Amino acid sequence: MIVKSGCLTGVRKIEIRQRELFLSDDEILVKTHAAGICGQDKNLYNGIIPPSGGLNTEMKRTFDYPYFYGHEAGGIVVEAGKNVRKYKPGDKVIAFAWVETYSDYFKATEDELEPAPEGLNMDLVSLGEPIGCALFSGLCSKIQLGDSVAVIGMGFAGQIIAQVACKKGAHQVIGVDVVERKLELARSLGLSHGINSSETDPLTAILDLTNGRGADVVVEVAGTGEALQLCNDAVKHNGVLVFYSWITQNIHINISRWHNNSLEVVNTGLVHHGVDQRHIWVPQALRPVLQGQIEIEPLITHSYSLDDIGQAMETADRDPSAVKVLLRP
Q: Which positions lie near Zn ion, rule CB under 5 A?
A: 38
- Toward Zn ion, which CB reaches closer, 126 or 197? 126
Closest separation in Å from C-beta 325 to Zn ion: 12
- Toward Zn ion, which CB reaches closer, 170 or 323? 323
Q: What are phi and psi of 295, to 5 degrees?
A: -95, 125
| CB-CB contact of 15 with 304 (8 Å) | no
Closest separation in Å from C-beta 322 to Zn ion: 14
Closest separation in Å from C-beta 61 to Zn ion: 18
- Toward Zn ion, which CB reaches closer, 38 or 165? 38
Q: What sections of 168-201 are H helices per DSSP?
A: 180-188
- Toward Zn ion, which CB reaches closer, 73 or 215? 73
| CB-CB contact of 240 with 150 (8 Å) | no
Closest separation in Å from C-beta 70 to Zn ion: 10
- Those residues whose C-beta lies under 8 Å from the C-beta of residue 179, and which sit 6 or more positions away, are 154, 196, 320, 321
- Toward Zn ion, which CB reaches closer, 38 or 327? 38
Closest separation in Å from C-beta 41 to Zn ion: 7
Half-sphere exposure of 21 (CA within 13 A, CB side): 24
- Cβ neighbourhood burial of 218 (10 Å; 0-12, 13-18, 19+): buried
CA distance 162 to 8: 33
Amino acid letter, residue 128: G
Q: Which residue is nearest to Zn ion (CB)?
A: 38
